[in-house]
Amino acid sequence: MTTIRKMMGRSVAIALVLVGLTAGAQAFVPGAGLSSFGGEVRGVTQVTGSVVCVGCSLNEVRAAQPDLQRLYQLNHEQGQLIMTVESVNNAGRWESIVGLSHQLSVRAPQSLFQQLTAEENLFREVEIRGLLRSNQTLDIGEITISGPIPEPLAPSASQ
């Protein structure tokens, strides 16, 4: 009788361990690109565009350059910038969160924000990757600056 009890106890323990391992394996699927924070499930947001002004407001840029479209103001504790947005990998989520305000709070390491606002990077193509939260906050994890340096900032050939 005690042998049967021991076997049953071990079987139940093994079954619980297997169920726990199976649930853990389902929760962490490599390459899924999804994170869950505070009940939200979302992937990494990729925004491509260019910074057009640092330290100015959305209204100032719209007044000075009315032809620019898809302008957004990014507010950081170190300052603010205005950028044109060419593409977003999840445009529906972007529009539902950012909406008509065209403003986002951003959280980023100071070094990333400084790179984004550096004068030599104005008007260059930038790709921002981060997590877009439902409270209109973008947590920036990585940025990539590409494209040629615009003419007014490029060193002249005579120098």
Q: What is the mean pLDDT of the chain?
A: 80
In this model, does residue 10 exceed pLDDT 70?
no
Instruction: Give 22's pLDDT tier (boundaries 50, 70, 90).
Output: very low
Q: Would you kindly state where each structural domain of the chain is located, as residue ranges?
A: 2-30, 40-146
Q: Are 68 and 52 in contact (CB under 8 A)?
A: yes
In this model, does residue 105 exceed pLDDT 80?
yes
pTM: 0.69
Q: Per-residue b/e over 130-143, b at no fewer than 16 CB within 10 Å?
A: bbbbeeeebebeeb
In this model, does residue 54 exceed pLDDT 90?
yes
